[in-house]
C-alpha cells in the first residue's frame, strides 16, 4: 500500500472482514462447481480454483501458495510439498487459500469429505468445532498469548482423539507481507515460543488481527483435517 494513506483501525477491520467474505464466496463457488471431484489431481484442482477465482471474483494474486491436500497428503503441514495425489471416491481433502482482495489478505481453509466415512466426517466437523472453541478461549482471555492459544489447540486435538498437526496455530493478517518464521518474527505467529499478548497493538497503534488455523491428524489412518479463518473480527 505504498503511497496510500495508512488505514485507521476501523477501516482496517472492515477491509479484512470484506476480504474474508470474498474468500468465503470463493469456497462456496468451489463447492458449487464441484471442483473437488474424484479422479482429479491436486495440481488440477489448484489450477481450476485459480481460474474460477479470477473469472467469478476477480482474484489475480495470492499472498501464499494455493494448498490442496488429498488423502495421506492431508497429514502434511503448510511448508511441505508432498507428491501430487489424485482425489479418490471415498476421500478426504482440504483447501487452504490466501486470496488478495483490493490489496487486503484473506486466509481461509476448509475440509471436504467425499463419501460417507464417519471417521473422516467427524474429523471435518471436529476441526471446525475446535476453531470455535479456540475463538471462545481467545475472547474469554484478554491476556491470551500465542503460546497460550497454541497449547489450547493442542489440548483440543487430544481431547477430541486427534493429534495437532500444525507447526503453528495461526498468524497475523493484514496488509503486510508474510514471511517465513525466524527468531525476530516469532511474535507474528501462534506458536509455543510466542509469549506476547495477542491483543498488543501494532507499531501504528492499531489492534493486531489474527488468523486461527486448526490442523488435526490421525497418522495411523493417514488422514488430516484443516479449518482456518479470521479470529479477531
The verdict on domain 9-230 having CATH code 3.40.1410.10 is no
Q: Enumerate the β-bridge partners of residue 218.
A: 223
Where along the chain do its domains lie? 9-230
pLDDT for residue 5: 63
Query: Please, which pLDDT band fits residue 181 given cuts at 50, 70 and 90?
Result: very low
pLDDT for residue 94: 98
| Sign for the pseudo-dihedral over CA of 92, 106, 67, 190 | negative
Q: What is the rounded CA–CA span in Å between residue 75 and residue 149?
A: 21
How confident is the model over 75-113, as pLDDT tens digits? 999 999 999 999 999 999 999 998 988 888 899 999 999
Q: Which residues of 154-184 are buried (b: 16+ CB within 10 A; e: fewer)?
A: eebbeebebebbbebbbbbbbbeebeebeee
**Average pLDDT score over residue span 35-50:** 97
Cell of 167: 507447526
**Average pLDDT score over residue span 185-190:** 91
- Any idea what DSSP says for residue 176? S
- 177: pLDDT strictly greater than 70: no
**Average pLDDT score over residue span 207-215:** 96
- 180: pLDDT strictly greater than 60: no
pLDDT for residue 1: 43
- 172: pLDDT strictly greater than 60: yes
- 140: pLDDT strictly greater than 90: yes
pTM value is: 0.92
Cell of 134: 479456540
- 41: pLDDT strictly greater than 50: yes
Query: Please, which pLDDT band fits residue 4 given cuts at 50, 70 and 90?
Result: low
**Average pLDDT score over residue span 47-73:** 93
Amino acid at each position: 500500500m505504498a503511497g496510500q494513506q495508512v488505514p485507521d483501525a476501523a477501516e482496517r477491520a472492515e477491509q479484512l472482514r470484506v476480504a474474508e467474505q470474498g474468500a468465503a464466496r470463493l469456497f462456496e463457488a468451489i463447492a458449487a462447481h464441484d471442483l473437488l471431484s474424484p479422479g482429479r489431481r491436486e495440481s488440477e484442482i489448484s489450477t481450476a480454483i485459480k481460474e474460477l477465482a479470477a473469472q467469478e471474483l476477480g482474484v489475480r494474486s495470492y499472498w501464499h501458495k494455493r494448498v490442496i491436500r488429498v488423502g495421506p497428503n492431508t497429514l502434511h503441514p503448510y511448508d511441505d510439498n508432498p507428491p501430487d495425489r489424485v482425489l479418490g471416491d471415498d476421500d478426504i481433502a482440504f483447501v487452504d487459500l490466501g486470496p488478495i482482495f483490493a490489496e487486503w489478505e484473506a486466509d481461509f481453509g476448509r475440509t471436504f469429505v467425499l463419501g460417507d466415512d464417519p471417521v473422516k466426517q467427524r474429523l471435518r466437523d471436529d476441526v471446525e468445532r475446535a476453531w470455535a472453541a479456540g475463538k471462545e478461549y481467545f475472547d474469554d482471555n484478554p491476556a491470551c498469548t500465542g503460546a497460550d492459544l497454541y497449547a489450547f489447540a493442542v489440548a483440543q486435538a487430544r481431547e477430541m482423539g486427534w493429534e495437532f498437526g500444525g507447526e503453528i496455530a495461526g498468524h497475523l493478517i493484514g496488509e503486510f507481507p508474510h514471511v517465513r518464521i525466524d527468531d525476530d518474527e516469532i511474535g507474528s505467529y501462534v506458536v509455543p515460543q510466542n509469549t506476547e499478548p495477542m491483543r498488543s497493538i501494532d507499531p501504528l497503534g492499531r489492534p493486531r488481527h489474527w488468523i486461527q488455523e486448526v490442523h488435526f491428524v490421525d497418522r495411523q489412518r493417514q488422514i488430516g483435517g484443516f479449518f482456518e479463518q479470521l479470529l479477531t473480527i
